[in-house]
A and B are shown apart, each in its own frame.
Chain A
Amino acid sequence: MKPAVDTGKHFINGDIACAEGAIAAGCLFFGGYPITPATEVAEHMSERLPHVGGTYIQMEDEIAAMTSILGGAWTGKKTMTATSGPGFSLMMETVGLAIVTETPCVVVNVQRGGPSTGLPTQGAQADMMQAKWGSHGDYEIIALAPSSPQEMFDLTITAFNLSEKYRTPVFIMSDEIVGHMSEKVVIPKKEAIKTISRIQPRGKKNNFHPFKPGPNGVAPMPSIGQGYKVHVTGLTHDEKGYPVMSVDTQAEMMERLLGKIRNNLDDIIMTDQYLLDDADIVIVSYGVSSRTSYTAVDMAREQGIKAGLLRLITVWPFPDRLIKELALRVKGFITVEINMGQISREVERCAGYKAPSYLAGHPGGAVVPPEQVISIMKEAF
């Protein structure tokens, strides 16, 4: 039996680091379904959860896996599932239910090449827009992009913290390369790990309003069995949780759901900036692509080009303001990602007519080589 926080230096792959991060964050329930290249997350969770009194269940498909973690979350536990593209598509239905019922949970997508069955064993970053818009209706989502096994550990904890704080599903948008690469992962002492749990209601249980926001725009969340007698529905509902089919209720609910993310951007958005202060050309990247992007910046600097890197650790919500500010002072942007233009469109949208924006993309199966970034840089600027 290992403790929840397996303090020490480890040489493990990203998937396993992610599972260790979940256990360290206090995850106690995992609904799994095998899929390459995310299977190791489920396997490791099935082994580790019983050590900490938690539960693993292998569901019949990804719809069920995702739905089971919502049920689990309403018992007061922190819950998670992990998948890759085809499973992520199936989960989208329940992602919407998680958003509208304000159910905290963490969903890991170890991305592989698509569309459809695609390249099961090779990496891609082509589900980034699906993460934002894959479920029907309007919503805000939180998505983090780890670029190393260490970050798979660290950001999984962050994902749980954000999900508990904002009562919302949080995506970890990893990829096959980060999921399957083994590197040194340092797991700190338990005391050094900051974990957040949802705010529980206090006081009178009669006529409780489980969707009435507190000061930060988020409602305290009761658990099954506490006597609050909550009603939770996927229909448009009021603060009591009761369905109300009215334009006004829809507007109020949407304002609450969008507001709790949009009004807390500074708390949610994390970036890493490398040589950005004096940069003329900004490389925007995230996840595994940011690793080759650091190299591209160094190569450009060696050749006298003032390049810098803006690495998105939080991809959704998107750092609009930061890109807009940069657009006022730089020559332009190059977005490096393993898809044919997804986040690059967001950069283009924010840069507007202030600065040009280019894509250094890849159809999937390998990383974008730094040389490709340099040649686009030279051609464009």
Chain B
Amino acid sequence: MGSPAVKKEVPVPHPLEDLVRMERIPHIWCSGCGTGSVFTACLTAMKNTGINYDDFAMVSGIGCSGRGAGYINIDSFHTTHGRAIPFATGIKMARPETNVIVFSGDGDLFAIGGNHFIHAARRNMDITVICVNNFIYGMTGGQAAATTPHEAKSSTSMGGNPESPFNLPLLAYAAGATYVARWTMLHSRDLADSIEEAINHKGFSFVEALSPCPINYGRRNKQKPLDTLREYHANTIIKNNADPGELGIDFKQKVILGKFVDIEKPSHDEQYHRLYHETSTKS
């Protein structure tokens, strides 16, 4: 008789494996970085929509989170710094049936790419913009960004940031976004649900995901990786439909999370189609 049967462990594939370019793993994100959690929430949301993966495209700009497009196993585009949104706009308008997701960082989307963001929101361009907001330029080593809190330290503001950050949900709302939400990467379920809603939303949808950069933000601001997560847990409150004007981020007070805007309004491609294609076939 042979030896008793040894139960062979068959590795169970990760439920999101079909959405990841496994040959490109390990990824470049530092340990303790929040970007991966936001990325996972995004993949989970895509899966939950039930939409065929070939009908998605992901576009990223430059930066740590901008590498997202390089790991997702769908048609994906890693563009130039700040230009993910106009690239996505080109895709959407040339092939409206595509679900276009922009996955990028705060520096990319709101400093160099800020103009593109507000105009895509104004047009109600039917794309989903996910911003991994880590309050800093991570990839280049921690310089002050348009989202760095006032008086926070960065490699270009060692004496404290003299500037004030954007309130991103307010900016998105004021510019015309028709879906706006904010979560932290710790609220992974809410974040994934929100991204799913944003994808299904017809029109410009924006989800801000607060996410730690322990290496280039935490270190200089005396925040250990777990401190930041504790803050995300203890110093946040969920307040759906909160006034976008009250959404400035200050962890000394409570940071407001939730869904703030969800408006029905025809998207740019719908308006264009109605005004140009339907009329020109009639005439």
Contacts and interface: CB of A to CB of B under 8 A. Distances in A.
Interface of A: 1, 28-29, 31, 50-51, 53, 55-57, 59-61, 63-65, 67-77, 79, 93-94, 96-97, 224-235, 242-243
Given A64-B83, A71-B86, A1 B283 contact: yes
Contact of A29 (B79, B83, B93, B277): B93
Contacts of A76: 95
A50 B280 contact: yes
A60 to B, nearest CB: 4
B283 A225 contact: no
Given A64-B89, A224-B95, A230-B75, A51 B80 contact: no
A10 B207 CA distance: 51
Interface of B: 21, 24, 53-55, 57, 59, 69-70, 73-80, 83, 85-95, 97-98, 115-116, 119, 268, 272, 276-277, 279-281, 283
B80 A97 contact: yes
B93 A55 contact: yes
A74 B90 CA distance: 9
B75 A51 contact: no
Given A1-B280, A71-B94, A225-B95, A59 B75 contact: no
Contact of A231 (B76, B83, B93, B95): B76
B115 A53 contact: no
A334 B132 CA distance: 58
Contacts of A69: 90
B260 to A, nearest CB: 24
The secondary-structure label for the interface of chain A is mixed
B91 A74 contact: yes
B89 A59 contact: yes
7 contacts: A55-B272, A68-B93, A71-B77, A71-B89, A74-B77, A224-B98, A225-B57
Secondary structure dominating the interface of B: helix
A64 B116 contact: yes
B24 A234 contact: no
A59 B86 contact: yes
B86 A68 contact: yes
Top 8 nearest A-B pairs (CB, nearest first) are A71-B90, A68-B90, A72-B94, A75-B95, A64-B86, A233-B78, A67-B86, A50-B276
Given A55-B272, A64-B85, A225-B97, 7 more contacts: A29-B90, A63-B83, A77-B95, A224-B57, A229-B73, A231-B69, A231-B70
Given A225-B55, A227-B54, A67 B98 contact: no
Contact of B79 (A50, A67, A72, A224): A67
Nearest to A49: B276
A234 B79 contact: yes
A234 B87 CA distance: 13
B83 A230 contact: no
Contact of A57 (B80, B93, B280, B283): B93
Contacts of A233: 69-70, 77-78
Contacts of A63: 83, 86
A354 B211 CA distance: 65
A224 B54 CA distance: 8
B192 to A, nearest CB: 22
A53 B277 CA distance: 7
Contact of A79 (B59, B90, B92, B279): B90
Contact of B91 (A71, A226, A228, A242): A71
A355 to B, nearest CB: 43
B89 A231 contact: no
B54 A232 contact: no
Contacts of A230: 75-76
Contacts of B55: 225
B97 A61 contact: no
Given A75-B95, A94-B80, A225 B86 contact: no
B61 to A, nearest CB: 10
Contacts of B94: 28-29, 55, 71-73, 75, 77, 79
Contacts of B79: 67, 70, 97, 234
A226 B55 CA distance: 9
Contacts of A71: 59, 77, 86-92, 94
A229 B21 CA distance: 10
A72 B76 contact: no
A59 B141 CA distance: 32
A366 B262 CA distance: 56
Contacts of A79: 90, 94
Contacts of A72: 90-91, 93-94
Contacts of A59: 86, 89, 119
Contact of B90 (A1, A31, A231): A31
Given A229-B73, A231-B78, A67 B280 contact: no
B283 to A, nearest CB: 6
A94 B77 contact: no
A53 B278 CA distance: 10
Contacts of B89: 57, 59, 64, 68, 71
A137 B20 CA distance: 31
A81 B78 CA distance: 21
Nearest to B21: A231
A56 B78 CA distance: 24
A229 B70 CA distance: 11
B90 A232 contact: no
B46 to A, nearest CB: 13
